[in-house]
Amino acid sequence: MIISIPAETPPEENRVALIPPVAEALLKAGHEVVVEAGAGEAAHWSDDQYEAVGCEVLGDRDSVFERGDIVFHVRGPGTVESEMYPYRDGQVAVGLFAPYEIAEETLAELAARNLSVFSLELMPRISRAQSMDALSSQASIAGYKAVLMAAAESPKMFPMEMTAAGTIQPAEVFVIGAGVAGLKAIATAERLGASTRGYDIRLEVKREVESLGAEFVELDLETEGSGDEEGYAQEMDEEFYAEQRRQMQQVVPESDVLITTAAIPGAPAPELVSTAMLEQMDSGSVVVDLSAPTGGNCEPTEAGETIHHDGVTIFGPTNLPSRVSHTASQQYANNLRNFLENLLTDGELDIDLTDEIVDSTLLVHDGTVRNPHIEDDSDDDDHSDTNTDDSGTDDL
């Protein structure tokens, strides 16, 4: 296989789909790797490093696409407004294609070019797919970075310390959502010495939260039907969210730092934290809303913006993994390598639709948009979404 690695074009995207050490492993397996000049610079991988392991570096973007049998992306054209990448008809493309937000016109164009497009957001939650789960690898980094952002902004130190000048009390950190990003946020806050609490409507994650040293917050709610068979969140009715907000009002104001990670697959993020709750937090408190790309869990959140309200700072980051671009690219490249290996049989591409991983992630194939997760207005069947979006956040 000839694998093409174009540079990422979305604004503020610093990751690269393949890093030199992983490319070297693919080259040793008999593949060729073609990289667009400068593709790895924002992730601190130079063209010289790619060439040193045997990659071919090309300055012309169209040539990079033309050469490849398969194109690896961090973010596909579904994430870039009004841009279609210069694919060659019949190619295979793998990446994060924003399947729940991608424009119908973009999907139609991908199908018209007879591409086989694999959208990693649609990865099934099965044991065999864990090494290919890009959402999880990137969500973990987002959870880590969210706590560091909060610690840097907070006027309080996180750890408890006994000093000659008196005792420093630990910062109170509350994490809403105990999926991948939430658990990493809890672990990071604990490592920094904060007094940490976590909440999730899925009571089965209580043990995971407590194993990290944090306190698990339980609310008196009826949670039946809150998750699907894969562990992803399901959208609840407004009565449920209203009661959840009422009970959470007893917890949020006590926190110095609030990290929110709640996301509903294919739907706006649930609004869990009202402006009134934030107004009860101490001046200097910090909120990092990881669900900002889909509307946010906090009422004042604005995607990509930092809001200051009544002494509280609310961050609405849209791509935290990109701010840890070196590590995030390393993790993502390993996800892609493992995914490619699953696609190959005796070194040849084999799109086996009986394979659950292939079937779940294949967004466009054989001239059609064929993934059942994507709503087709011409189809009367009622399909329901079961996976998270590409924001790298959790489900609640």
Please confirm, yes or no, whether 125 is among the known catalytic residues. Answer: yes
CA atoms within 13 A on the CB side of 235: 15
What is the C-alpha separation between 36 and 34, in angstroms, rounded? 7
Expressed in angstroms, the distance from the first to the final Cα of the chain is 40
Please confirm, yes or no, whether 140 is among the known catalytic residues. Answer: no
123 by Cβ neighbours in 10 Å (0-12 / 13-18 / 19+) ranks as buried
- Active-site entry in 15, 232, 245, 325: 232
Please confirm, yes or no, whether 282 is among the known catalytic residues. Answer: no
What is the C-alpha separation between 198 and 213, in angstroms, rounded? 10
Please confirm, yes or no, whether 211 is among the known catalytic residues. Answer: no
- Active-site entry in 50, 91, 133, 325: 133
- Active-site entry in 125, 197, 245, 337: 125
What is the C-alpha separation between 392 and 181, in angstroms, rounded? 8
What is the C-alpha separation between 273 and 349, in angstroms, rounded? 47
Task: State which amino acid sits at residue 186.
Answer: I
- Active-site entry in 4, 116, 119, 136: 136
**Considering Cα of 343, then 348, then 351, then 354, what sign does the dihedral take?**
negative
**Considering Cα of 255, then 396, then 193, then 304, what sign does the dihedral take?**
negative
What is the C-alpha separation between 321 and 140, in angstroms, rounded? 9
What is the C-alpha separation between 169 and 120, in angstroms, rounded? 43
Task: Mention every residue, 6+ apart, whose C-beta is less than 8 A from residue 26.
Answer: 3, 18, 33, 337, 340
What is the C-alpha separation between 25 and 384, in angstroms, rounded? 38
Task: Mention every residue, 6+ apart, whose C-beta is less than 8 A from residue 243.
Answer: 221
Furthest C-alpha separation in the chain: 72
Please confirm, yes or no, whether 63 is among the known catalytic residues. Answer: no
- Active-site entry in 130, 169, 211, 250: 130
Determine the angle formed by the axes of helices 325-343 and 20-28, rounding to 10 degrees.
20
What is the C-alpha separation between 364 and 387, in angstroms, rounded? 17
What is the C-alpha separation between 84 and 341, in angstroms, rounded? 27
Which helix (H) or strand (E) element contains residue 356?
helix 356-361
Active site (catalytic) residues: 125, 130, 133, 136, 232
